Structure 1
Amino acid sequence: MPLSRFVPAPLLGLISGLLLGLNTLVTFTLMIVPALLKLVLPFTRKPCDRLLNALASSWVARNSVWLSLLERSPWQVEGAEGLNRHGWYLVSPNHRSWVDILVLQRVFHGRIPFLKFFLKQELIWVPVIGLAWWALDFPFMKRGRSSGAQAADLETTRKACQKFRSIPTTVINFVEGTRFTQAKHARQQSPYRHLLKPKVGALGIALATMGEQFEALLDVTLVYPDGTPSFWDLLSGRLGRVEVVVQRRSIPAEVVGGDPGRDKTQRARIGTWIEGQWAEKDALIEQRLLPRD
């Protein structure tokens, strides 16, 4: 039975926020020694990376416990069975809210390796968690349009992916580049009803540097039938229904490798591939939002 039935929403939100903050602080403290050790003694990188990933996974596990106590109704998850927790995956979800990240972590916890994101370079300065992201080798991207910025991002990702080759890793990329809002949708004149236009820059870099190692692309559709929740809605037990559909897709050989930052033909191939998925995803979201008997 959800805690929201017994605890007022503002109090529940405060307690949840404190628990999340405490979990993050404790986990980060435990990560300091192995993070410094692999920096000072590079030959310890592999065992330190395994420990750091285990600590990050334990952070997700603890978050998942309190999320289960907050949910008003069981989440509906489809297609997440039969995955390899010791494999390599590329995950491509739509993006509605900051809540998406905790939802994805909970859905995939114990099914595939810990999720690692492409992050804006400025986020490394976020207190505590920015250093945790650095310790976990999250790729920090400049996200500029200049050829110099793109070349730097490609090199950054190549270096990150070299580290990922020795330890099972999941790379996640929100190809919309930002959270969906009606204002952004109108400004883009998006051809999709429930999605923003996909951007293949970071995805192309991942495919160029590590495409042959990924077992599959996990195309994830996130749907919130009761409306897009805020992070405070999550913390205060007012999340509503959550539906997650996972579709495992083979990665075509023609979108792997190359230099999509400079090769327009390669970038067009990736764009066509993703746009096909986006059309299917948009139709799936529309179907899921229809009233049901």
Structure 2
Amino acid sequence: MFASLPRLIRVPLVVLLLTVNVVVHVLLLFALTLVKLVLPWRAARSACSQGLVAIAESWIGFNNLLFDLFTRIRWQVEGLDGLRPDGNYLVLCNHQSWVDIPVLQKVFNRRIPFLRFFLKQQLIWVPLLGPAWWALDFPFMKRYSRETLERHPELRGKDMEATRRACEKFRRMQVSVMNFAEGTRFTPAKHDAQASPYRHLLRPKAGGLAFVLDAMGDALHAILDVSIVYPEGPCSMKDLVAGRVHEVRVHVSERPIEASLRGDYEADPVFREHFQTWVNELWRAKDACIERMSGPVSETARGD
């Protein structure tokens, strides 16, 4: 509707509306979080948690509406049939840009339980958003460099302890746990430095994925294997807001979580080898899927 406005008007307007949306919903989150903190009854706190998720889904829904109104993105999405808002999923996705997150939110909002990510500890200090993520039970992880661990070996395993605590909390709620198994955003330089055997992907980090599956146990009922392609090439949040992203392609494949995918990755070498083989096979299939999805942007999707 507003995508035809001149860019000098359209971009500041959408930025203003996105900012207002953040402030309004974050203030609502803070207010309900304060209520939750003072309530002594578990049932009442649980109801507040559900209310917090409803606010977050409204926040995402309004963001999606703004992008629909102010951009001309052509969406090609496959594989959403059969998804359950009452299910529990592990969502695995390739990672190219921060745009991946609003894309995932666009595709899955209210179709599956609210997506939660493992975030770096430093992000809790992001104004408004950091406390909002905390209120929504996003787990914050503190990663230590190899040099730090060599100087302070007592810190070894702290990140896994934090992951296990987060998973214990997730087992008591309806949740979709998001995992970028590559661990970082794809760039040609990183691809070359890793000597990655995949054309469109970095090497997956199997250990963290195995740990989440083991810690969550049977609380998860399926894996959603998600592949995202931007036919115009790498893009940024600035490109998204400015309307320079004209087409997004998403493929979703639901995969069962077999009993053989749960085990002690650190202590059991047989299981570790089996799990690494499974992840590598999954990544080869994902790489082939992305290759099939790739190609020039559709003529009908080209904008200004």
TM-score for both structures, normalised by structure 1: 0.91
CA 123–202 in structure 1, closer or farther in 2 if over 3 Å, else same: farther
Q: 1:231 aligns with which of 214, 237, 248?
A: 237
Q: 1:157 aligns with which of 153, 163, 169?
A: 163
CA positional deviation for 1:66: 0.9
* Aligned residue in 2 for 1:198: 204
Range with greater deviation from structure 2 (31-40 or 204-213): 31-40
CA positional deviation for 1:148: 5.2
Task: Determine whether 1:19 maps to 2:6.
Answer: no
* Aligned residue in 2 for 1:38: 36
Answer whether contact 1:119 1:138 (CA < 8 A) is retained: yes
Q: Where do residues 60-75 of structure 1 align in structure 2 (5 Å cutoff)?
A: 60-75=60-75
C-alpha distance in structure 1 between counterparts of 2:207 and 2:49, whole Å? 27
C-alpha distance in structure 2 between counterparts of 1:23 and 1:291, whole Å? 34
Answer whether contact 1:12 1:237 (CA < 8 A) is retained: no
C-alpha distance in structure 2 between counterparts of 1:149 and 1:90, whole Å? 27
* Aligned residue in 2 for 1:177: 183
Q: 2:253 aligns with which of 235, 247, 250?
A: 247
Answer whether contact 1:118 1:202 (CA < 8 A) is retained: no
CA 22–271 in structure 1, closer or farther in 2 if over 3 Å, else same: farther
Task: Determine whether 1:28 maps to 2:26.
Answer: yes
C-alpha distance in structure 1 between counterparts of 2:125 and 2:205, whole Å? 25
CA positional deviation for 1:233: 1.0
SS at structure 2 position matched to 1:77: strand
Q: Which runs of 4+ in 1 moved over 6 A?
A: none
**Structure 1: unaligned runs, 5 residues or longer:** none
CA positional deviation for 1:22: 1.5
C-alpha distance in structure 2 between counterparts of 1:180 and 1:268, whole Å? 25
CA positional deviation for 1:249: 0.5
Answer whether contact 2:73 2:245 (CA < 8 A) is retained: no
CA 190–82 in structure 1, closer or farther in 2 if over 3 Å, else same: same
* Aligned residue in 1 for 2:6: 7
CA positional deviation for 1:169: 0.6
SS at structure 1 position matched to 2:226: strand
**Which residue identity lines up with residue 227 of structure 1 in the other structure?**
G
SS at structure 2 position matched to 1:38: helix
C-alpha distance in structure 1 between counterparts of 2:259 and 2:282, whole Å? 17
1:45-65 CA-to-partner distances (Å, cap 9, x unmatched) read: 311111111111111110110
After superposition, the CA RMSD in angstroms is 2.1
CA 157–26 in structure 1, closer or farther in 2 if over 3 Å, else same: same
Larger Rg: 2
SS at structure 2 position matched to 1:58: helix
CA 31–93 in structure 1, closer or farther in 2 if over 3 Å, else same: same
* Aligned residue in 2 for 1:115: 115
CA positional deviation for 1:14: 2.4
CA 128–254 in structure 1, closer or farther in 2 if over 3 Å, else same: same
1:206-246 CA-to-partner distances (Å, cap 9, x unmatched) read: 11211311110000000111212211111011112110000
C-alpha distance in structure 2 between counterparts of 1:273 and 1:148, whole Å? 32
Answer whether contact 1:143 1:149 (CA < 8 A) is retained: no
CA 17–201 in structure 1, closer or farther in 2 if over 3 Å, else same: farther
C-alpha distance in structure 2 between counterparts of 1:138 and 1:267, whole Å? 28
Task: Determine whether 1:268 maps to 2:289.
Answer: no
TM-score for both structures, normalised by structure 2: 0.88
SS at structure 2 position matched to 1:75: strand
CA 265–141 in structure 1, closer or farther in 2 if over 3 Å, else same: farther
**Which residue identity lines up with residue 7 of structure 1 in the other structure?**
P
CA 292–120 in structure 1, closer or farther in 2 if over 3 Å, else same: closer
Answer whether contact 1:225 1:289 (CA < 8 A) is retained: yes
CA 225–162 in structure 1, closer or farther in 2 if over 3 Å, else same: same
C-alpha distance in structure 1 between counterparts of 2:169 and 2:176, whole Å? 12
Aligned length: 290
**Structure 2: unaligned runs, 5 residues or longer:** 299-304
